Amino acid sequence: MPSIYQLKPAFQNLLRPGVERLYARGVTANQVTLAAALVSVLLGALLAACSHITWLFALIPLWMLLRMALNAVDGMLAREFGQQSKLGAYLNELCDVIADSALYLPFALLAGVSPLLVILVVLLAVISEYAGVLGPMVGASRRYDGPMGKSDRAFCFGVLGAGVATGLLPALWINLLLGLILALLLYTLYNRVRRGLAEAV
């Protein structure tokens, strides 16, 4: 299925000169991973505490874009500069799930938005990433199949954040979009399991 993740190679090419400078200055992949997760948790806490100040949700699309860049940067530092490690593999998966949850959950506190839908989206996002990680356990690769992978979710919640901040998305529309994201997450889970099993044969 189509996914924003497929744009990753072109995105990495744009970032490569900056990554080389970071490496020259001694920045490590694990430092970038942890920094991105920490900022995500702090931003999520800010939005949860101040959910009534809707313009703050404009920070979501801005941070999502920067975080996608940082996620690409940590992977490039690890692969291209010999910084791959078992600890890094754990951090990469765990920090992504923690950061996503921290950034998505504040939407449940918005007036008129269904907390159940938000929680189900967060739960299915975690489960779909778990299904992707299980690929190597059955003899397949780590599965990144869409249509609602990490990059796709970042884009969707960036749009939701912008809609909340500008007042262009009423609660009913947000609930409808969350329902659509939920359906696409179910399909993503199905795709990752199906394609993982097919690859492992």
Whole-number Cα distances in Å, 123 to 13, 92, 129? 33, 18, 10
The enclosing H or E element of 29 equals: helix 29-49
Residue 5: the pLDDT is 56
* C-alpha–C-alpha distance, residues 131 and 119, integer Å: 18
* C-alpha–C-alpha distance, residues 199 and 5, integer Å: 19
Residue 132: the pLDDT is 96
pLDDT at 119 over 70: yes
CB 56 within 8 A of CB 47: yes
Residue 12 binned pLDDT confidence (cut-offs 50, 70, 90): confident
Question: Domain spans of the chain?
Answer: 4-200
Tell which CATH classification among 1.20.120.1760, 3.10.150.10, 3.40.190.170, 1.10.357.10 matches the domain 4-200: 1.20.120.1760
CB 19 within 8 A of CB 77: yes
Instruction: Tell me what the mean pLDDT of segment 53-82 comes to.
Output: 93
pLDDT at 165 over 70: yes
